[in-house]
Homo-oligomer: A and B are copies of this chain.
Amino acid sequence: MKELFLLDPKTVFLNHGSFGACPKPVFEKYQSYQLQLENQPVKYFVQDVALMLGKSRAKLADFLNVDVENLAFVNNATTAVNLIANSLNVGVGEEVLACNHEYGACSRMWNRLAERRKFSYREHEVQLPLYSDEDFVENFWADVRPETKVIFLSHITSTSALILPVAEICKRAKAQGILTIIDGAHAPGQIPLDLSEIPCDYYTGNCHKWMLSAKGSAFLYVSEDEKKNLHPQIISWGTDLQSTGDTALAAELEYQGTRDFAAFLSVSDAIDFHAEFNWNEVLQQKRHLLYKVRTIFSNIFETAPIATPEFMPMMYAHQLPDTWNPIVLKQKLLEDFNIEIPVTSVGTQNFLRISVQGYTSFDDIEKLANALELIKQQFV
């Protein structure tokens, strides 16, 4: 499987989660679109690209099981979350509720926006360890207040690699008229994802992580009810120049002046790649490696997992004891052992987070385990 990717064979690459990795056949198609553009730029932008985007968007809509009219390409989940947040009608005395495992850039955005727009942003503290979805839902819901107008929640937390029961949260929120925004940055392609089963108002997911498309490809789903409330941040020709293949939503959101659409187009090829190689099955066959890592980490770090395996996607984050310096650990793994693996954090708690992708081998895991043993002997 490693030969299918462009990753440097000298690096033990255990951080698929941060930026993904694009397989060769998808990458080649991606660059071929850029070449096609240069062949006749006017024809490409005025005629061809709308049809090609329409095809890619329709395939993505099938993949996610949503209506294509409610879907638009964006560069990444961060961009989508900013777009949604800037369109929200929340003000003084009202709050956006999230949890304390959200992605740092999103927390930063919410805090800045809350300050400027005079609403409140609050993070529910997740009770660890997590034993069941019901636990999470009950605890989270006990923290919802009358002033909670919006719930913002990660589908898979970036910091702690936990699948959160967002469908159930959205169901409860809908019943109470609370708007829901799901940050699925890490979800599509990593876990089975059927958006028709998650009654949210907004959902965003990256395609360049686990769906394996080129960098800068992600989607925004918006419910039919919320469409009218969404203000594009970059207004261009929009529906005034709507081309064949465009939906109204795509015309308003995707055309932001001249830019390269190749990453969006590569989503179609990434979906083909998934089908051709039966990639879901490939991932399932690698899942035993995650259980192995779980045991290895528990033994080496002498701490218990923060959640039962049902919360585990194709990433696993294990908490580091205070005796392990996270910066030194990260640096030693990379510099002394050529192992690329991130240390993440929730507040003062640090985690070592591994990603298992189709190209991850048993040998990679062994190299990591041996490196950790050596580091432990050296400096703990």
* From B43, B113, B256, contact of A340 by CB (8 A): B43
Question: Measured between alpha carbons, how far is A6 from B32 in the docked complex, in Å?
Answer: 13
CB distance B35 to A6 under 8 Å? yes
B340 contacts A8, CB within 8 Å? no
Measured as residues with beta carbon below 8 angstroms from the partner, the interface class of chain A is 35 or more
Name the residue in A22, A78, A238 with the highest tally of chain B Cβ atoms < 10 Å from its Cβ. Answer: A78
A276 at the interface (CB under 8 A from B): no
Smallest CB separation, A219 vs chain B (Å): 13
Contact with B along A1-41 (1 / 0, CB 8 A): 00001111001010100111110000100110011011111
Stretch of A50-58, A104-112, A193-201 contacting B (4+ beta carbons < 8 Å): A104-112
Contact A233 B82 (CB under 8 A): yes
A86 close to B (CB within 8 Å): yes
* Interface membership of chain A positions 71-87, coded 1 if the CB is closer than 8 angstroms to chain B and 0 otherwise: 00001111100100010
- Say yes or no: A76 contacts B259, CB within 8 Å: yes
Which residues from chain B contact A105 at a C-beta distance below 8 Å?
A: 235-237, 257
A258 at the interface (CB under 8 A from B): yes
Residue A263 CB within 8 A of the other chain = yes
Given contacts A82-B235, A104-B237, contact A76 B40 (CB under 8 A): no
**Which of B21, B45, B216, B237 is the one whose CB lies under 8 Å from A38?**
B21
